[in-house]
Structures are given as structure tokens and as C-alpha cells.
Amino acid sequence: MISPEATAKLQPLWRRPLVVRLLLIALFAEIGYAVLNISTMPVYLKYDRGFGESVIGLVLVAFLLSEAVFKGPMGHLADHHGRRTLMILGPGMTVATALLSFVVPHGAGGWEVLAFVLLRALDGVGAAMLWPAAFAMMSDSVEDHERQSAMSLLNLCYMLGIALALPIGGIANDLTNTRWASLVLAAVLFVAVAISCYIYVPRLVKTSHSEEAAELGEFKIGDFLKSARQIPAYLTLAIIIYAGIGFPMGVIKLFAEEQLRMTETQFGGLVFPAAIAMAVLSVPLSRFGERLGRARAVHVGIGLCTLGLGVIALGSILPMFRSALVMSLGAIPVGIGFLMAIPAWMASVSDIDPRRRAANLGAVMTAQGIGAIIGAPIGSAFYEHFQRISPDFGRYSPFIGCATCVGIGWLISLRILREPS
């Protein structure tokens, strides 16, 4: 007679209760983190606190850097004290940091800036508690041959959460006619995530195959240096492309409001269909990329991203390209290219050395984080300072940097990625 546990493992991943719960937890957690740090912080800090864009970029970097640095230690804590414990504590900590943002005194100068940097650094610690534990828990919950599909679904929820955060956070602010309502929304989301982890995430015993998933989210300087010697070109490519992605990260909401004259809800309405399309097209485009071949899928995908970003960046010099319609049209090849390139790129990295698969993938993810940390403050500084030359050029300048970095990454990919003979 087949046990209930064995019967459950015969079902498709999306019909297994624990897998579905973990995916929903990941989705709502990333919506919360993106609402807090990408959707809310830029507009709240600029319009309610009077911060400049360069300082806003610094606050965002505090979150990104803290998350990258603490993922390794928190991954080890999850191994020793249980995935569930860290998955509860991480979101619980961010409930406090979101609400403490209201307590920071207005007009306190450098102390006010320092307070927000420290609060967002604590957010990074909370995210570092959650993600390695969530990836390891997902790995604990599936068989070895299902792990790649499970991780793909988890990554999809992560990306979808970032995309959905912009419309959700914007609607919350516009409905209340404030800049801070989405801070409360983020706190509510993290309360829901922490409670869900407490109720629905079991105390699973660590299995032998969970180590690889845990390593993917960790920062280990020794493994990173070993991978840097083995795959320097791959890490360089990851840093350059994600530096480009980081350029508009901290100012995208400000750009929509100041350049495109859109409310937060209107901008959210622009992003929401794209987010749904990403979810629907992710699997078909990934399969199409497999038919093309991994190297060719990366080449075509990054090439499409470069094309779309180049169209958007033309708004810096050509008035006819300064509209929400052009922004939407340019975003189409970017989204398609991203969904084609990323799965093929990760698969290519995993095949370089099967003995160091997790270490190399973890190193590439670390390099991606380093790239975003580099790009975010530079893009915010461009946005602020180049407006002194020309308001239009200054607001589009982060997209120039983004298109340039992704274009350089495309050229590097043509050089280093080849189909196996």
C-alpha cells in the first residue's frame, strides 16, 4: 500500500500543498520587500523626507549589501536551527523596521539619513534569514530530479513579486493620498508571511540534497574566490549586466511621476499586465530557449534586452521617444529577452563543473548582487545630477547606463558562450 507521503510526491509540483504554500509565501514575501524598498522608499524619502536621489540610492544599497553579506551566515543558522525558525524571524524583523520608519524624527539631518540606512540594513538581514531557508525548505520538499523545476517556480515567484510590488504599493498610496500608506501595507504583508510560516511550514529534518539549494543563496567568500579563478568571465558578465539592472532600480517610480507625469496607480497599471505576462510566458519562453540551445538563447535574450533598453534610452535625446507608450513598447523585448536568457544562463553556469555546481551558481548570484549594489547608487546619482544639465536627459540617464551595461554584457556573452560541439 502506498503511503500518503509517497502519493503526494507522485503529484505534479503545483498540486502539492507544501510546495504551493512555499511558493505563495515566497511571492508575498518578495512583494513585501519590493513594496518597502523599491516602490515605497524612493517616493517616501523624496517627498515626505526631502532626501535627494543620491541619498535614496545609498539607502537602497544598504538593503542590498546587507542581504548579500548576511545570506551566508543566515543560511548556516537555518541548517543548525531549522528552516522554519528563520523563515518566521526574518519577516517578523521587517515588520518592526517598516513601522519604525515612522518614528525617525523629521529634519534630523545626517542622523535621519543614518537611521534609514540602518533600518534598511536590518531589512536586508531579514531577507537574508528568509531566502536561503526558503530555498532549502523547497529542496527538502521535492525529489532530486524535481529540484530544478521547483527552484524555477520559486525564482518565478521572486521575480513576479518584484513586478507586482509597483502597482500594489502605488495603489495603496494613491487611495489614501499619502506617500507612507504602502509602508503600513508592507508591514501587514510581513505579518501575514510570518504567521503563514508559523502555521504552514513544517519542522522538516534536513536532507542530504538540501545543501545545494541552501548554498545558492549564500555568500561564501572562499567559494566565490574559487569560482572567480575558474569562471572569471561569467562572473564579470553577471556583474556588468546586473549593474545595468541596478541603474534605474532606485528611481523608476520617481521617473514615472516626474518624467511621464503618471500617478503611482497609473504606473502600476502599466506594470501589472507585464507582470502577468511574465508569469504566463515564463515556461513557454524557457522551453523555446531550450530548443534554440542554451548559448543561443542567452545571445538572443540579452540582445533583445539591449534593443528594448536602447529604445527607451533614446528618450534622453529624442523628444518623440519620451512617452509611456514608447516605454511600454521598449519593455516588451526586455521582458521576452529576460525570460529567455536567465534560465539558459543559469543552466550554462551549472554545467561548467558539475562538482562545483552549487558553488558556481551561488558565486554567480553573488556577482549579480554585487552588480546591483554598484549600479543602484550610480543610477540614482545620474538621475539627480544630470538634471542640472537637462531635466529630460537627467531623468533618462539611468536607462542610458542600463542599456550600455546590458549591451556590453551581450558582447561578452557572444565571446564566452558557445554551443557544445
pLDDT tens digits, one per residue of 26-36: 999 999 999 99
Residue 374 near residue 249, CB atoms below 8 Å: no
Query: In this model, does residue 240 exceed pLDDT 50?
Result: yes
Q: Which CATH architecture describes the domain 222-421?
A: Up-down Bundle (1.20)
Whether 1 has a pLDDT exceeding 70, the answer reads no
Predicted local confidence at residue 144, as pLDDT: 67
Third-level CATH fold of 12-219: Growth Hormone; Chain: A; (1.20.1250)
| Residue 215 pLDDT > 80 | no
- Asked whether the predicted pLDDT for residue 142 surpasses 80, the reply is no
Can you say whether the dihedral through the CA atoms of 370, 372, 378, 380 is positive or negative? Answer: negative
Residue 2: is its pLDDT beyond 50?
no
What number of other Cβ atoms are within 10 A of residue 341's Cβ? Answer: 26
Task: Note the pLDDT of residue 205.
Answer: 47
Average pLDDT over residues 255-278: 86
Is 192 exposed, middle or buried (CB count within 10 Å of its CB: 0-12, 13-18, 19+)?
middle
User: Rounded mean pLDDT of 207-219?
Assistant: 52
| Portion of the chain with pLDDT greater than 90, in percent | 50
C-alpha–C-alpha distance, residues 362 and 243, integer Å: 17
Q: What is the mean pLDDT of the chain?
A: 85
Highest mean pLDDT: which of 139-153, 221-235, 403-417? 403-417
- Give tens-digit pLDDT for 323-377: 999 999 999 999 889 888 887 887 787 777 766 666 677 778 778 888 999 999 9
Higher-confidence residue of 216 and 133: namely 133
Domain residue spans of the chain: 12-219, 222-421
Higher pLDDT, 156 or 8: 156
As to burial, measured by CB atoms within 10 angstroms (0-12 exposed, 13-18 middle, 19+ buried), residue 42 is: buried
- What is the pLDDT at residue 12? 67
Confidence label for 208 from pLDDT (cuts 50, 70 and 90): very low
| Between residues 351 and 98, the one the model is more confident about | 98
- Kindly report the pTM of this predicted structure: 0.82
Interval 274-307: pLDDT, tens: 777 877 787 788 778 778 888 899 999 999 999 9
Which residues make Cβ contacts (< 8 Å) with residue 331, sequence separation at least 6? Answer: 274, 308, 312
